[in-house]
Amino acid sequence: MIVLGIESSCDETGVALYDGERGLLAHALYSQVALHAEYGGVVPELASRDHVRKLLPLLREVFADAGIERTQVGGVAYTCGPGLVGALMVGAACGRTLAWAWGVPAVGVHHMEGHLLAPMLEPEPPAFPFLALLVSGGHTLLVAVAGVGRYRILGESIDDAAGEAFDKTAKLLGLPYPGGPRLAALAEQGDPQRFSFPRPMTDRPGLDFSFSGLKTHALNTLAGLAGSEQDRADVARAFEDAVVNTLAIKCRRALQQSGLQRLVIAGGVGANRRLRAQLAELMRARGGQVYYPRPQFCTDNGAMIAYAGHCRLSAGEHADLAIAATPRWPLDALTAPAG
């Protein structure tokens, strides 16, 4: 079965075609970074309007790249939530309408499930079960994954997600939107010995995260400095080291508690070089394996939605004719496909 996947949960429009036999046929992604940079963050109304403008051209591009006709599509998957409700409705309306017009089933996909399953698009995907660290702008989760739809949340952020903390701290440092990657680039010039930031919630049992205090710590540290480029780089390095080390500590605990030997890193922050290095070293020391999606599939994309949708559609799952979005949708509310 060939599945068309549509992602429109926030500020990236993604479209892909996935074939259960041949794998990923084609994908295209449009980022709204330039649109929102002027405002220092995502403006929901502008995001929705831009999805409307870009979705159909991307659909034409993907079909042309794959060299297939719409009559060959056996199902449509679209991100149903969580995310910005207006942006979600654009993808849901397009996906559900195309499926109805083509006479094929459609399914709404959980955005986080898409991220969790993104490593399955790689040549050497992880086998179930595995531990997943899902780190993005809106979510930081540790999840025991027994199979598609079989998720048990072990820990989550009680305030800012890791990616959100990166972006907010980047703003304190005067870096433009999107700040996370720019903070990581600035940290490359920083002195790792100059400042030591706390590793929040690592001095107590448990697997939950809290990153909002690191932002405050960065603000207070900056207040006592002259604000030179080196000062900013040193603060960026201390902040990045604290976040990365905290994530690694919690992953180690989760692996010990769960007994799992495979670790999957998903979400936009999963592209961070220092995080990948620390977690690779952690898994080497444990004799386990770590898996990542390729960098272009760490951020939001249509390929992960097409794959997750294929898993559910091929098991006989499908949505009714209603066009609906679920902006707040707990991951552990999902169930395994009936097939």
Task: Specify binding-site residues for Fe cation.
Answer: 111, 115, 300
Look up residue 189 and give its DSSP letter. Answer: T
User: Which of 213, 207, 116 has the alpha carbon at shortest distance from 159?
Assistant: 213
Residue 338 one-letter amino acid: A
Cα–Cα distance, 172 to 261 (Å, whole number)? 38
Cα–Cα distance, 291 to 277 (Å, whole number)? 12
Cα–Cα distance, 87 to 36 (Å, whole number)? 14
Contact between 326 and 82 (Cβ < 8 Å):
yes
Beta strands 73-81; 140-147: pairing state: unpaired
Cα–Cα distance, 207 to 198 (Å, whole number)? 16
Cα–Cα distance, 61 to 225 (Å, whole number)? 50
Residues forming the annotated binding site? 111, 115, 134-138, 167, 180, 272, 300
Q: What is the C-alpha R_g of the chain?
A: 20
The neighbouring-strand residues paired with 156 are: 141
Phi-psi domain of 106 (left: phi exceeds 0; alpha: psi -120 through 50; beta: other):
beta
Residues forming the annotated binding site for substrate? 134-138, 167, 180, 272
Residue 57 one-letter amino acid: P
- Around Cβ 198, how many Cβ atoms within 10 Å? 12
For residue 90, count CB atoms less than 10 angstroms from its CB and return exposed for 0-12, middle for 13-18, buried for 19 or more. Answer: buried
Cα–Cα distance, 261 to 122 (Å, whole number)? 19
Beta strands 130-135; 140-147: pairing state: antiparallel
Residues 6+ apart with CB under 8 A from 301: 7, 12, 14, 16, 27, 29, 118
